[in-house]
């Protein structure tokens, strides 16, 4: 029996890795993948807690997250594709059209 | 009541406006005709309401109620003696304003007519609402068409003017919205949840501190709309830039919404707070009378002159409202109608001149009287009505206002009476500079007198001025009971306000012009089901 | 006869409406005929009402008629109600009688004017409002007429509105009288609230019974008198009347001599109960009247415009009427009002005839020797001059004497002396006119001289009728020395205006002697100055240049008002408009808008547009939030 704490620690580590990757990497695609890592870290945390508390609520949330993540991946990827087509780059430092 | 006549009256213009959207863009003539027909139909309905209105009772009539958003946010409308004539005025002036812009507006006529009709629905809605939330919705909804009317069909500085207008009014209404939230939170729960119906709110007992803040929030919203000095500077700009039809409705009806707000909500909802602030507000009103008059004296633009004269006149109306006695309140209500007619007519006249001369500067005219005799006669009558000349409507209102104010405060009345001198000064001076003297400039020499359409616009207005001046009873009689009921509301504490059935009682206006709450009359009435 | 009373004012109103609305489609002949007929009908109806009044039993209530309740709100209820009592009878006969003559005269005088129908329409409208004024049974309804005649005055002074001077004069008249009217409204409404109704009878009764609070009993008549001072051109609000001479001359005769300007006198007489009850009001009215009488007469001495002389003369004579009312001799005041309507109306009409003959010339220095050229105008003017001077047995003599006697008898010695001084001046200035216009050498321009012609009968017949009235009109109010029942007018008015005590016969004779001497003295002085030794005025002017310039400059009152009231008000408003309305209020608004914009611009720097910066902020926020929650828990 693996204790819930271990799952949580793993989730935290994954999440931290995701954050790190998001800040270190400079292209949109990798950053997007970093976000996915974070999402899944969260999923893991949910599942760990669901298992510990023996309640189904958190599992439902995970399903939601998965669905949203799928949709998000579709939309996000197409945005990245479009951005690349228009700007010929996906380097986020160069994509600053929202500068005030 | 089988036919929901008030709902029809309120939303008929909107229906006409929606119909317009389906009209092809280039069907200018049809767009005008449609708008006119719908506004005339609304006028006809308003006349039916007037004819069937029972002046013997102060309770709301033609009441319609329907659930809307639930939890007390109901659709609830009706008219009483306080709102009846404002509804009539709106219904009367909208077709007049539409007809007046036949030639003035040639660009995007369909949209223009749409917004005019939308405006009518918004304004009528404000006057007939018996539920605070509904009131607020109409109050805000009416801003939208006005914003576009000034912003699209206005003069050179239209964007500045319309933004200023909307910002000023929004600022006030947002505070009012906060006030409404507070009221909603404290509303007496009825079987169906908390109620924002006026008659339930009137029975709400609020602690003094809450009353003070709420009164200030509401009063600010209304004072901006009136406008009360020193919140008036949006008015000249909005008027100068607005198209004639917009100016007419702005002056004639929109300003009345502020006064009506005080009458319907500000004073009866928060009587204790109101009493505390009335002296200060009265002083502001008097300052407005004199200040507006003096400013009107030195304006170079005809429209801003009339706008400042509005500030002055509305000052008198507010002063009379704040005097809180029978004569002053009836005078104020009557004067609201008068001001709508006279100032509306003055703006129409300026519009007639502007269409020909393409300038509103007084200095650009002179000697117009010889070129346009009919126009100058109409202008003269509108002016005299505004000056309160006996025989015309303005006099009756002015006398009633001053009579009531005298009973409340002699010093303020003495200061307010200067309006008779000031209004004569700025209007006669205007008339002399525009109409009199030799016609010298090319511009004036080429002027043509009013055509049949323009006469059709102005003659009904002038006729009403005479009618109300000679037979004010046609209006006053239908107000008596409602005014008595209103004053009783203002004078008794909410806790003491009783719930009685809407008993029909004989019209016996209270003999006391001022003083204690000795009014005999029907108390708070539960409006018909 | 009750509601039928309304026909008296309404007939001219109807005619006026027709003329003003359809005037362009009517023939000129019909226009004048209709206007005159309407007034004639009113005159006939007034006479019929008078007959009824005379036939009624003593002590019977006056005729009255109510059409409907005009305004009713709370405690204020104003019926549209007319009353026909002796005072009204006198006034309405004067208004319609003199009015009719002036209407007829106008048909000739205005014959060449392009706005014939507008002229007669307004004249009829004026008659309507004037009749409402004198017939109203309540003060509020009287005020309707009061403002209405003011409006007609404005429109008729500015009848030739293309002339800037005329337009300005009309406006000035309206605004100046409105200053008085503002006070009038205050007094009126306070009074109505205090006595519980607007009827004259109620006000007089309450005042006489001492039913008014002391402050009100004093203040109300004073405020009302301010209105009267405006309408009847008394010091300090007289300044509009001389300028009003820009209007057509028949208008000056009707409105600014015979009828409208006497409205103030009528008002004071109508409210005699109120004025008698106050210890302050009466003396105030008398003093203002006396000061005005002398003040205006002194200005009439040096004016060179024939109509301006008559205008100042009117102001001065109105002062007399107020002396009468102020000392309690209301009947004498009304008596002078009537005779003044005759002789001053005549003077104006005759002056109009002279101006007409001289192709519009109004400067008396360019007249002279017209006696023979205007054989019908001259005697008329001469009779009127004798009447206004107070030469015995003409109308003005009796009425002026009645006033001066009352002043003397009432112990108002200063007022009496001022009245006497004004009488000397009156005789002087009016005969100055007579001598300069009709006697001496002809000083007319050669071009004008060729066209001099006597006016047509339509103008000279009214002159003749008025001349007869001016001569004999005084016989209706003979002083008591001619017999107990000699004072017809006084006895007729007695139910409304209590008659003044008649002095002992010896005193009366002495007073008559004194005032006759005064009149004769003034006349003789004018004879010396302008006929016998024509160089005298110029020498006097050279001797006292300051005095002369002050008089010519009309004491600089217009300039004073302009500098103290008009200009500071306009300049001050301009200043406030620019500095407060635009700078402070709008400045604050625009300033806050600008501040919001600046703040927005500053805040927008945070938007770098780089995802990482946003993410960093997000991360920091999340950490802070978590930390906060944890700290909270702990």
Reported as type and span, the H/E element at residue B66 is strand B61-70
Contact C610 A93 (CB under 8 A): yes
* Residue B421: closest CA among C183, C228, C237, C572: C183
Contact C611 A23 (CB under 8 A): no
Paired residues of B526 in beta bridges: B501
pLDDT in tens, C168-220: 999 999 999 999 999 999 999 999 999 988 999 999 999 988 888 889 999 99
Q: Residue B499: its pLDDT value, please? A: 47
Question: Which among B297, B331, B421 is the nearest to C573, CB-wise?
Answer: B297
Contact A100 C615 (CB under 8 A): no
Question: Which among B420, B437, B480 is the nearest to C167, CB-wise?
Answer: B437
* Residue B331: closest CA among B410, B276, B263: B263
**CA B398 vs CA B255, B374, B474, C299: distances in Å:** 18, 27, 17, 39
Residue numbers in C near B512 (CB within 8 A)? 74-75
Distance CA C553, CA C535 (A): 22
The yes-or-no verdict on residue B15 having pLDDT over 90 is: yes
Using alpha carbons only, how large is chain A's radius of gyration in Å? 17
Distance of CA B111 to the CA centre of its chain: 24
Cβ atoms of B227 and B311 within 8 Å: the answer is yes
Tell me which residues of chain C have a pLDDT lower than 70: 1-2, 59, 500
| Cα atoms found within 13 Å of the Cα of residue B435, Cβ hemisphere only | 30
Q: A95 to chain C: nearest residue by CA? A: C610
Reported as type and span, the H/E element at residue B447 is none
Q: Residue B522: its pLDDT value, please? A: 35
Does B470 contact C at CB distance below 8 Å?
yes
Distance CA C150, CA C142 (A): 12
Residue numbers in C near B473 (CB within 8 A)? 68-72
Residue numbers in B near C186 (CB within 8 A)? 402, 406, 413-414, 417
Q: Residue C483: its pLDDT value, please? A: 76
Does B370 contact C at CB distance below 8 Å?
yes
Does C67 contact B at CB distance below 8 Å?
no
Question: Which among A22, A93, A100 is the nearest to C615, CB-wise?
Answer: A22
Distance CA C613, CA B446 (A): 68
| Neighboring chains of B (3 or more beta-carbon pairs < 8 A) | C
Distance CA C11, CA C34 (A): 10
DSSP labels, C400-412: HHHHHHHHHHTT-
Does C181 contact B at CB distance below 8 Å?
yes
pLDDT, chain C, mean: 90
| Cα atoms found within 13 Å of the Cα of residue B484, Cβ hemisphere only | 28
Question: Which among C604, C610, C619 is the nearest to A92, CB-wise?
Answer: C610
Q: Assign B67 to helix, strand or coil.
A: strand
Distance CA B210, CA A27 (A): 57
Does C612 contact A at CB distance below 8 Å?
yes
Residue numbers in B near C182 (CB within 8 A)? 417-418, 420-421
Q: Assign A100 to helix, strand or coil.
A: coil
Does B396 contact C at CB distance below 8 Å?
yes
Does B300 contact C at CB distance below 8 Å?
no
* Residue B416: closest CA among B524, B310, B290, B263: B290
Residue numbers in A near C611 (CB within 8 A)? 31, 92, 95
Distance CA A69, CA B107 (A): 51
Mean pLDDT of B316-332: 93
Residue B294 binned pLDDT confidence (cut-offs 50, 70, 90): very high
Distance CA B232, CA B225 (A): 8
Q: Residue B504: its pLDDT value, please? A: 37
Q: Residue C297: its pLDDT value, please? A: 94
Q: Do chains C and A touch (3 or more CB pairs under 8 A)?
A: yes
Does B325 contact C at CB distance below 8 Å?
yes
Cβ atoms of C265 and C228 within 8 Å: the answer is yes
The yes-or-no verdict on residue B315 having pLDDT over 50 is: yes
Q: C198 to chain B: nearest residue by CA? A: B403
Asked whether the CA dihedral C39, C41, C44, C50 is positive or negative, the reply is negative
Please enumerate, as own/partner, the contacts of B32-35 that have beta carbons within 8 Å and a separation of 24 or more: B32/B98, B32/B102, B32/B109, B32/B113, B34/B113, B35/B98, B35/B113, B35/B114, B35/B116, B35/B117
Does C607 contact A at CB distance below 8 Å?
yes
Paired residues of C77 in beta bridges: C72
Report the residue of B233, B324, B362, B381 to disrupt the C interface, i.e. the one with the largest count of C CBs within 10 Å: B233
Q: Residue A100: its pLDDT value, please? A: 64
Q: Extract the tokens encoding C9.
A: 């004012």
Residue B278 binned pLDDT confidence (cut-offs 50, 70, 90): very high
| Cα atoms found within 13 Å of the Cα of residue B380, Cβ hemisphere only | 16
The yes-or-no verdict on residue B469 having pLDDT over 90 is: yes
DSSP labels, C239-308: THHHHGGGS-HHHHHIIIIISGGGHHHHHHHHTHHHHHH-TTHHHHHHHHHHHHHHHHHHHHTT--BHHH
* Residue C38: closest CA among C95, C88, C91: C95
- How do beta strands B500-501 and B525-526 pair? parallel
Contact B420 C167 (CB under 8 A): no
Cβ atoms of C8 and C64 within 8 Å: the answer is no
Q: Which H, E and C letters describe C151-178, residue by residue?
A: HHHHHHHCCCCCCHHHHHHHHHHHHHHH
User: In angstroms, what separates the C-alpha of A22 from chain C's closest C-alpha?
Assistant: 8
Contact C581 B399 (CB under 8 A): no
Q: Residue B49: its pLDDT value, please? A: 93
| Cα atoms found within 13 Å of the Cα of residue B227, Cβ hemisphere only | 22
Cβ atoms of A8 and A14 within 8 Å: the answer is no
DSSP B501: E
Does B391 contact C at CB distance below 8 Å?
yes
Distance CA C355, CA C353 (A): 5
* Residue B7: closest CA among B44, B43, B45, B36: B45
The yes-or-no verdict on residue B502 having pLDDT over 70 is: no
Residue numbers in C near A97 (CB within 8 A)? 609
Paired residues of C138 in beta bridges: C199
Cβ atoms of B85 and B476 within 8 Å: the answer is no
Does C600 contact B at CB distance below 8 Å?
no
Does C620 contact A at CB distance below 8 Å?
no
Cβ atoms of C326 and C272 within 8 Å: the answer is no
Q: B432 to chain C: nearest residue by CA? A: C167
Distance CA C338, CA C134 (A): 14
**CA C514 vs CA A23, C318, C409, C479: distances in Å:** 119, 21, 14, 15
- Which residues in chain B (128-187) have CB-CB distances under 8 A to chain C? 164, 167-168
Distance CA B25, CA B27 (A): 6
Q: Residue C320: its pLDDT value, please? A: 92
Question: Which among B370, B476, B512 is the nearest to C73, CB-wise?
Answer: B476
Environment class of residue C58 by beta-carbon count within 10 Å: exposed (0-12), middle (13-18) or buried (19+)?
A: exposed
Cβ atoms of B362 and B430 within 8 Å: the answer is yes
Does B394 contact C at CB distance below 8 Å?
no
Q: Assign C113 to helix, strand or coil.
A: coil
Distance CA B43, CA B293 (A): 33
Report the residue of B334, B373, B391 to disrupt the C interface, i.e. the one with the largest count of C CBs within 10 Å: B391
Distance CA B214, CA B175 (A): 9
Question: Which among C606, C609, C615 is the nearest to A96, CB-wise?
Answer: C609
DSSP labels, C37-99: HHHHHHHHHHHHHHHHHHHSPTTPPPEEEEEEEEEEETTEEEEEEEEE-HHHHHHHHHHHHHH
Q: C144 to chain B: nearest residue by CA? A: B390
Give φ, ψ of B33 to 5 degrees: -65, -45
Tell me the count of A-C CB pairs closer than 8 A. Answer: 31
Show Cβ contacts of residue C468 under 8 Å, excluding neighbours closer than 6 positions: none
> What is the percent of chain B where pLDDT is above 90?
58
Distance CA C68, CA C80 (A): 6
Distance CA B338, CA B464 (A): 9
């Amino acid at each position: 029996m693996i204790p819930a704490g271990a799952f949580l620690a793993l989730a935290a580590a994954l999440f931290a890795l995701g954050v790190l990757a998001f800040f270190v990497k400079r292209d949109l695609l990798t950053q997007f993948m970093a976000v996915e890592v974070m999402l899944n870290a969260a999923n893991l945390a949910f599942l760990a807690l669901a298992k510990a508390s023996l309640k189904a609520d958190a599992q439902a949330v995970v399903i939601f997250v998965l669905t949203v993540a799928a949709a998000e991946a579709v939309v996000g990827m197409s945005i990245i594709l479009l951005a690349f087509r228009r700007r010929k780059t996906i380097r986020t430092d160069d994509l600053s059209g929202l500068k005030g | 009541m089988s036919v929901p006549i008030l709902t029809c009256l309120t939303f008929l213009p909107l229906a006409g406006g929606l119909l317009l959207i389906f009209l092809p863009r280039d069907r200018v003539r049809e767009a005008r005709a449609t708008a006119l027909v719908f506004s005339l139909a609304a006028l006809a309905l308003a006349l039916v309401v007037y004819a069937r209105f029972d002046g013997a009772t102060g309770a709301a009539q033609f009441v319609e109620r329907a659930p809307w958003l639930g939890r007390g946010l109901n659709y609830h409308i009706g008219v009483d003696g306080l709102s009846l004539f404002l509804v009539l005025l709106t219904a009367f002036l909208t077709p007049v304003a539409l007809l007046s812009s036949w030639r003035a507006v040639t660009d995007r006529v369909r949209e223009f007519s749409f917004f005019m009709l939308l405006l009518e629905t918004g304004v009528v809605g404000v006057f007939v609402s018996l539920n605070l939330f509904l009131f607020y919705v109409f109050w805000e909804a009416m801003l939208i068409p006005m914003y576009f009317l000034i912003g699209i069909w206005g003069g050179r500085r239209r964007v500045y003017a319309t933004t200023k207008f909307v910002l000023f009014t929004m600022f006030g209404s947002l505070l009012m919205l906060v006030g409404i939230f507070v009221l909603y939170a404290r509303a007496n729960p009825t079987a169906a949840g908390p109620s924002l119906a006026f008659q339930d709110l009137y029975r709400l007992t609020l602690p003094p501190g809450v009353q003070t803040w709420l009164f200030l929030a509401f009063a600010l919203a209304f004072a901006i709309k009136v406008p009360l000095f020193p919140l008036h500077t949006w008015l000249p700009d909005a008027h100068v830039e607005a198209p004639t039809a917009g100016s007419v409705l702005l002056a004639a009806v929109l300003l009345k919404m502020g006064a009506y707000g005080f009458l319907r909500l500000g004073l009866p909802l928060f009587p204790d707070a109101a009493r505390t602030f009335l002296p200060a507000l009265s002083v502001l009103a008097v300052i407005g009378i004199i200040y507006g008059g003096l400013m009107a004296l030195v304006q170079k633009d005809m429209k801003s002159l009339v706008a400042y004269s509005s500030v002055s006149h509305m000052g008198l109306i507010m002063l009379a409202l704040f005097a809180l006695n029978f004569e002053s309140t009836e005078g104020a209500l009557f004067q609201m109608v008068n001001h709508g007619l006279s100032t509306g007519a003055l703006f129409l006249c300026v519009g007639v001149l502007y269409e020909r001369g393409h300038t509103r500067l007084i200095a650009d005219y002179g000697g117009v009287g010889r070129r346009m005799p009919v126009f100058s006669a109409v202008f003269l009558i509108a002016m005299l009505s505004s000056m309160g000349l006996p025989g015309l409507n303005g006099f009756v209102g002015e006398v009633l206002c001053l009579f009531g104010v005298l009973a409340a405060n002699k010093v303020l009345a003495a200061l307010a009476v200067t309006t008779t001198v000031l209004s004569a000064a700025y209007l006669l001076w205007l008339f002399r500079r525009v109409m009199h003297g030799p016609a010298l400039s090319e511009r004036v020499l080429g002027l043509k007198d009013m055509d049949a359409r323009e006469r059709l616009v102005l003659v009904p207005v002038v006729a009403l001025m005479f009618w109300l001046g000679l037979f004010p009873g046609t209006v006053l009689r239908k107000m008596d009971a409602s005014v008595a009921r209103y004053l009783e509301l203002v004078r008794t504490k909410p806790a003491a306000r009783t719930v009685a059935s809407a008993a029909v009682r004989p019209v016996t206006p209270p003999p006391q012009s001022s003083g204690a709450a000795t009014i005999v009359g029907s108390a708070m009435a539960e409006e018909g089901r | 006869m009750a509601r039928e009373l309304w026909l008296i004012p309404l007939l001219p109103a109807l005619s006026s409406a027709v003329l003003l609305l359809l005037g362009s489609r009517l023939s000129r002949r019909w226009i004048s005929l209709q206007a005159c007929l309407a007034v004639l009908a009113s005159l006939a109806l007034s006479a019929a009402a008078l007959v009824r009044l005379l036939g009624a039993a003593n002590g019977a209530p006056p005729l009255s008629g109510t059409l409907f309740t005009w305004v009713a709100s709370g405690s204020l209820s104003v019926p549209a109600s007319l009353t026909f009592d002796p005072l009204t009878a006198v006034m309405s006969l004067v208004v319609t009688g003199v009015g009719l003559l002036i209407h007829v005269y106008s048909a000739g005088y205005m014959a060449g004017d392009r706005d014939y129908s507008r002229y007669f329409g307004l004249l009829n409208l004026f008659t309507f409002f004037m009749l409402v004024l004198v017939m109203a049974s309540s003060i509020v309804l009287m005020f309707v007429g009061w403002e209405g005649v003011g409006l007609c005055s404005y429109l008729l002074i500015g009848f030739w509105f293309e002339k800037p001077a005329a337009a300005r004069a009309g406006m000035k008249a309206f605004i100046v009288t409105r200053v008085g009217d503002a006070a009038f409204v205050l007094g009126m409404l306070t009074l109505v609230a205090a006595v519980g109704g607007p009827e004259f009878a109620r006000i007089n009764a309450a005042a006489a019974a001492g039913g008014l609070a002391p402050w009100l009993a004093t203040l109300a008549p004073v405020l009302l008198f301010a209105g009267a001072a405006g309408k009847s051109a008394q010091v300090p609000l007289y300044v509009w009347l001389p300028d009003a001479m820009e209007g057509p001359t028949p208008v000056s005769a009707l409105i600014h001599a015979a009828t409208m300007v006497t409205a103030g006198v009528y008002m004071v007489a109508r409210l005699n109960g109120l004025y008698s009850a106050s210890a302050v009001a009466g003396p105030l009215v008398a003093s203002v009247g006396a000061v005005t009488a002398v003040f205006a007469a002194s200005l009439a001495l040096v004016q060179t415009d024939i109509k301006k002389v008559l205008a100042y003369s009117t102001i001065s004579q109105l002062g007399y009427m107020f002396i009468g009312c102020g000392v309690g001799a209301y009947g004498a005041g009304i008596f002078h009002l009537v005779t003044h309507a005759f002789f001053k109306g005549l003077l104006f009409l005759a002056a109009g005839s002279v101006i007409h003959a001289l192709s519009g010339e109004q400067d008396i220095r360019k007249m002279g020797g017209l006696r023979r050229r205007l054989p019908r105008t001259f005697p008329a003017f001469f009779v009127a001059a004798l009447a206004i001077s107070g030469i015995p047995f003409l109308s003005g003599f009796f009425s002026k004497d009645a006033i001066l006697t009352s002043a003397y008898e009432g112990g108002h010695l200063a007022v009496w002396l001022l009245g006497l001084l004004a009488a000397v001046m009156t005789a002087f200035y009016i005969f100055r006119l007579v001598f300069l216009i009709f006697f001496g050498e002809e000083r007319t321009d050669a071009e004008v001289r060729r066209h001099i012609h006597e006016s047509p009968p339509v103008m000279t017949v009214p002159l003749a009728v008025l001349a007869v009235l001016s001569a004999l009109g005084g016989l209706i109010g003979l002083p008591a020395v001619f017999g107990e029942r000699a004072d017809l007018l006084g006895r007729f008015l007695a139910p409304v205006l209590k008659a003044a005590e008649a002095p002992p016969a010896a005193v009366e004779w002495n007073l008559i002697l004194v005032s006759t001497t005064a009149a004769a003295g003034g006349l003789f002085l004018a004879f010396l100055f302008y006929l016998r030794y024509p160089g005298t005025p110029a020498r006097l002017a050279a001797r006292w240049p300051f005095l002369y310039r002050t008089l010519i400059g009309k004491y600089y009152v217009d300039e004073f008002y302009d500098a103290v009231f008009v200009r500071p008000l306009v300049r001050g408003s301009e200043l406030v408009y620019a500095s407060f309305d635009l700078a402070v209020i709008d400045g604050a608004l625009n300033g806050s808008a600008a501040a919001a914009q600046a703040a927005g611009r500053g805040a927008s720097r945070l938007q770098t547009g780089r995802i990482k910066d946003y993410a960093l902020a997000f991360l920091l926020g999340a950490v802070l939030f978590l930390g906060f929650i944890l700290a909270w828990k702990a």
